[in-house]
Structure 1
């Protein structure tokens, strides 16, 4: 069946989202002591003054490249490696009473809100927690195949908006704003380990500004001072001891993979586990709302502006997810801040149709850009100006995994592979109007796909109409089918009268699960 994007269909979806998050219904609340941020309604956001901590496991690439071929052995080792460390970090955050925000593959995001009345106390506490994570993960490897994690921590402080991230059974708080973004950049600023503070956070605890915060980690004496100030009630010895006991009582077990019968839209990720994981050749995509941090910063100061931020985020991300899931039968893995990470595959559970998958991914990327532009237009018509935003899309093809890791009752979605890492890198090299294709997808796609992206593997303003037109003109069968399907949809019977009463031919009962979870 042809996978297609349709402007009228997208417009109706966007209009529905707009009606669900009307400006007059959105509430901006102040975060107070022990506010519960779980399962927030889409129409509620909290302005939170906190310290953001990102911890990146910088040797994940080493795990993914332990073998020349990216086979099952490589993926099993990497997933077990992550699972071991997820469990340890989950225990740390519980012990120190920090807010868990997200664990996306190698990257942890946490927020420190206590002590409530002192910013320097929160920064000192975040530094102490960061060092505790580093110390514990040095000791939670098992063997040469599953070594200790090497960790780089980034920290910043300030106000951010906490909103709902995801839908139904997969909700968690999402923090929007400069402190989250800047902490993430410090954690992702290089491969050297240590704790890296923004100059703002350094100033809060009385440290001199660094010429380059990405190459100037805290010294041992500076970390010691923060540890003494924070006086955490838990030690690395205690966490490691409890982690080892937990592994004995609740062993991880062996990862077991099977292929999912396409399309991915039928995959229920919430049923996956170590023994029930998926693995097959597929395409993976990162679609990131560009300039969103600046948009938040410009509007977070007053409630009126903050309401527009909440509305724009939910409308745009929901529509990007709908394009992936409803129009192209892909599957969202998770929302990562203002970014959508997803998977797409065509073929069978045993054999992926490489060219069809990649061509559909190109059309899907084009559909995302067309829907993004339409959402910006409709938001503006309805009073929300988000015209400063852009969309950066990167995708790759190769062996993909999808499963859930961590502690029972708090499992997190995980899709990790060389292709997943590369797709995110492709997205990062894009500007606000650009789409980039990974080298493997470029090589395994057809000549029409390579013609669209050129030798730089990057293209500006690739919307759906441009993708269909250019691919089909070069003989791409997927694009030709999409074009024919769209044309057929415009044809009307010449003489047959409409039946006065008609009913859709579909089964009764609960509606089929859509793309949100």
Structure 2
């Protein structure tokens, strides 16, 4: 087991280079048919478009379909998602809609055509989005698998329209467009709710001639309103056609059986591009979500008059958060989700996870993420970059987790699912920009020092790296004591990597092939 630590000097040096790399930023208006692939780090496009989110509401039901979270519920959940990914892929391709991201149960897509040069373009885009959304609902109501106990998906659609910034999302080979701004964020919020249906913001409702409502998230479009949009948009694709083509695809290229094995830590060495249903990973680990709080309002305030600083701030902050997770703590970034990063961490072996060390390491990483975030804002401000009133909300949880790639061959999507992944996201969502929260399972399985740090409510404020190290080391947490030794006595690496506390009783094995 290695020792992971965060150092102010290292982060400062990284951030200096990162800030210098985005000194010259260009923001231009989007021009018809401009490619959004591989947008340079220092460029962004202002773009008018309709943004749509589709949330599959019964993912949790699939994950909780068995009492014990073994391979059976993970195989069932992954197959559930793969079936629906394939169907949605066909819908988007047939309707000229563009996928931004498919993060587990949540799809983000945008509709840019017709362009603003055409009369009533915005209303036409919104009606088209409504028609595509209803097609997704109708198709996914028939793409389950009764033989495998796979339910049909229950889907909720959220839609908004307006101006956003298109920038690069990701690093190296994992690059795709990301939209910053109110329409993408509000569409996501509209899709978050317990009831199926299509939900429009008042902004989008007014654009297609509908009256405003008092409760946007509680007022779905009526059947008549949806049918009017379908008639006007005439997208030319039927549910029966998509389902037929989906069935042909499954016959030609069956999903196959999901086969799991563990990955030998560190997870930073995990080659996600090599994963497939037959070559999936599964082991007990920590899942972390860190979301930039207040970013949507920050973009809205600056999208017209100072979009360059928005691009600079996001690029620098996300790159540094990624470095903390993957370089300092040897975790694995699964993806950037807008202004949020999702990553995994594990200590132990491919067969046996050191539970206590993993959770302590995750707590240290959580503190380091906040320390780097605050340092990034400080250094950006020193360079006269307007950063607004941003914060960082962090949640993490522990449990058996499956990681693979799903979807159409040649267009696979990375996916990491488990109750821990869902819980870590939910813990992040309860935090404001100063808070960090730990999940129930991680809290119960953690060292005494970690439990004291987060308290009975499992949430704490302004938790930076120094505070975590001091608090855990004082509680004789072996992982924190080793980190403190390395951080403050770099000339003694042998001491930093040793401990007289035997943590082997905390090692937990997970059989990747175990069924429920």
TM-score bracket, normalised by the shorter chain, equals over 0.9
The 8 Å contact of residues 376 and 387 in structure 1, kept in 2 or not, is answered as: no
Deviation at 1:44, TM superposition (A): 1.2
Gaps of 5+ in 1: 493-517
How far, CA to CA, are the matches of 1:101 and 1:490 in structure 2?
A: 47
For residue 122 of structure 1, the aligned residue among 118, 125, 130 is: 125
Deviation at 1:7, TM superposition (A): 0.3
Is 1:277 aligned to residue 276 of structure 2?
Answer: no
The 8 Å contact of residues 298 and 388 in structure 2, kept in 1 or not, is answered as: no
Look up the match of 1:513. none
Q: Deviations over 1:198-229 (max 9, x none)?
A: 01100111111111111110000000000001
Q: Deviations over 1:171-196 (max 9, x none)?
A: 110000000000000101x2110000
Alignment of 1:139-288 (within 5 A): 139-143=142-146, 145-188=149-192, 190-288=193-291
Q: Deviations over 1:362-413 (max 9, x none)?
A: 0000000000010001101112121511000000000111111111111111
Q: Deviations over 1:494-517 (max 9, x none)?
A: xxxxxxxxxxxxxxxxxxxxxxxx
How far, CA to CA, are the matches of 2:97 and 2:397 in structure 1?
A: 35
Look up the match of 1:62. 61
The 8 Å contact of residues 152 and 192 in structure 1, kept in 2 or not, is answered as: yes
TM-score (norm 2): 0.93
Aligned-residue CA RMSD (Å)? 1.0
Residue aligned with 1:481, SS: helix
Is 1:437 aligned to residue 441 of structure 2?
Answer: no
For residue 289 of structure 1, the aligned residue among 288, 292, 295 is: 292
Is 1:321 aligned to residue 325 of structure 2?
Answer: no
Look up the match of 1:26. 25
Alignment of 1:304-453 (within 5 A): 305-453=306-454
The 8 Å contact of residues 267 and 344 in structure 2, kept in 1 or not, is answered as: yes
The 8 Å contact of residues 268 and 331 in structure 2, kept in 1 or not, is answered as: yes
Deviation at 1:487, TM superposition (A): 2.3
The 8 Å contact of residues 486 and 492 in structure 2, kept in 1 or not, is answered as: no
How far, CA to CA, are the matches of 2:488 and 2:258 in structure 1?
A: 46
How far, CA to CA, are the matches of 2:132 and 2:471 in structure 1?
A: 52
Look up the match of 1:502. none
Look up the match of 1:138. 141
How far, CA to CA, are the matches of 1:15 and 1:232 in structure 2?
A: 49
Alignment of 1:96-115 (within 5 A): 96-115=95-114
Look up the match of 1:81. 80
How far, CA to CA, are the matches of 1:214 and 1:166 in structure 2?
A: 31
Residue aligned with 2:50, SS: strand
How far, CA to CA, are the matches of 1:375 and 1:490 in structure 2?
A: 27
Deviation at 1:475, TM superposition (A): 1.1
Look up the match of 1:514. none
How far, CA to CA, are the matches of 1:408 and 1:244 in structure 2?
A: 15
Look up the match of 1:479. 480
Look up the match of 2:70. 71
How far, CA to CA, are the matches of 1:170 and 1:486 in structure 2?
A: 32
How far, CA to CA, are the matches of 1:342 and 1:487 in structure 2?
A: 27
How far, CA to CA, are the matches of 1:487 and 1:459 in structure 2?
A: 25
Alignment of 1:40-55 (within 5 A): 40-55=39-54
Deviation at 1:490, TM superposition (A): 6.1
How far, CA to CA, are the matches of 1:78 and 1:396 in structure 2?
A: 19
How far, CA to CA, are the matches of 1:12 and 1:252 in structure 2?
A: 46
Deviation at 1:491, TM superposition (A): 7.3
Residue aligned with 1:179, SS: helix
Q: Deviations over 1:296-325 (max 9, x none)?
A: 0000013xx111000100100000010011
How far, CA to CA, are the matches of 1:485 and 1:414 in structure 2?
A: 34
Q: Deviations over 1:257-278 (max 9, x none)?
A: 0000011011111111111110
TM-score (norm 1): 0.93
Look up the match of 1:503. none
How far, CA to CA, are the matches of 1:275 and 1:378 in structure 2?
A: 45
Misfit runs of 4+, over 2 Å:
none
The 8 Å contact of residues 206 and 212 in structure 2, kept in 1 or not, is answered as: yes
Mean Cα displacement is larger for which, 378-387 or 93-102?
Answer: 378-387
Residue aligned with 2:218, SS: coil
Residue aligned with 1:214, SS: helix
How far, CA to CA, are the matches of 1:387 and 1:393 in structure 2?
A: 19
The 8 Å contact of residues 321 and 332 in structure 1, kept in 2 or not, is answered as: yes
